[in-house]
Amino acid sequence: MSSVLKPTIEATVAKTVSDGWIATRRNIYKLRRDPEIFVFSLIQPIMFVLLFNYVFAGAIQVEGGDYTQFLMAGIFAQTIVLSSTYSGSAMAQDLKDGIIDRFRTLPMSSAAVLIGRTFGDLVINASSLIVMMITGFVIGWRINSSIPEAALGILLLLFFSYAFSWVMALIGMSVRSPEIINNVSFLVLFPMTFLSNAFVPSETLPGPLRVFAEWNPVSALIQSTRELFGNVPAGIPAGDSWLQQNPLTTVFAALVLMLVVFIPLSIRKFKSISSR
């Protein structure tokens, strides 16, 4: 029985990977026809870095460190999380335009469209991260750790953006129009990014907001990135919550949870809307 199923499983996986690669190329080539999407996705990170640094740097004092060094990890995390909105809006737009119905007529894997969508958006997020890091270096941000630690920090940000793209892809297939995605992302993503340790230490926030920030997975991502880049100010304590004491473990757990939960849900949702 297993000898009969094994080639079938291998063939299914190979087909999914092949179709997913084709769908990814389709989304990357689409950027060449709509360069405004790519250009504005690169301009926004520059604005975020300059705006938050020069607006907040003079007003917020970080004990034992420079605010620019403290800020950059928060900007990195905020931007890649907010950029995942494009995965949802693009899926909603493809549904509205009937592109999904065209894909349904092709002999392709049901997961290929979603794989292509999320990996295509990963290219955009990686480009945005590169632009943000270059801008950060210009304004004085530096990596104060080893090359392996810095590389792990970059990979951590990219994997988090990829996992969150699956979350937004599911939301994009669940709303009635692409315009609703902006409202949904504002209600969900803004509290996650601003009620965190991105711009101020969580210890400075009042009661309930401090608790939310301490247990916010985005805070764990930011703290992990700060540690891996060597940007943790000496005067700021690690915190008392388990999440703050173990930020890297928390981020890996969040990554696994998002992928395990939202990849099957997204594929199931795609199949259901494709069969309408």
Q: What is the pLDDT of residues 58-105, one digit of tens each?
A: 677 776 678 888 889 999 998 888 888 888 888 888 888 877 777 777
Q: Is there a contact between 205 and 213 (Cβ–Cβ < 8 Å)?
A: yes
Token pair in block for residue 133: 């890091």
Looking at residue 191, its pLDDT comes to 84
Give CA–CA dist 42/131, Å, rounded: 7
- Per-chain mean pLDDT for the chain: 83
Distance CA(185)–CA(171), nearest Å, equals 9
Give the pLDDT of residue 234. Answer: 66
Q: 274 pLDDT band (50/70/90 cuts)? A: low
Q: Which of these, 87, 92, 70, lies nearest to 125 by C-alpha position?
A: 87
Task: Kindly report which listed range (12-26, 43-57, 166-180, 213-227) carries the lowest average pLDDT score.
Answer: 12-26
Lowest mean pLDDT among 137-141, 185-189, 222-226: 185-189
The torsion defined by the Cα of 132, 266, 97 and 15, in degrees rounded to 10, comes to: 90
Q: How confident is the model at residue 157 (pLDDT cuts 50, 70, 90)?
A: very high
Going by pLDDT thresholds of 50, 70 and 90, the confidence category of residue 5 is: very low
What's the half-sphere exposure (Cβ side, CA atoms, 13 Å) at 71?
25
> Are the C-beta atoms of 125 and 161 separated by less than 8 Å?
yes
Average pLDDT of span 115-122: 88
Q: pLDDT per residue over 262-272, tens digit each?
A: 999 998 888 88
Percent of the chain at pLDDT above 90?
26
Residue scoring higher pLDDT (122 or 31): 122
> How does residue 43 score in pLDDT terms, banded at 50, 70 and 90?
confident
Contact 90, 121 (CB under 8 A): yes
**Residue 237 pLDDT:** 61
pTM: 0.85
Decide: 76 and 157 in contact? Cβ < 8 Å: yes
pLDDT tens-digit profile of 204-255? 888 888 888 888 889 999 999 999 998 887 656 666 677 778 889 999 999 9
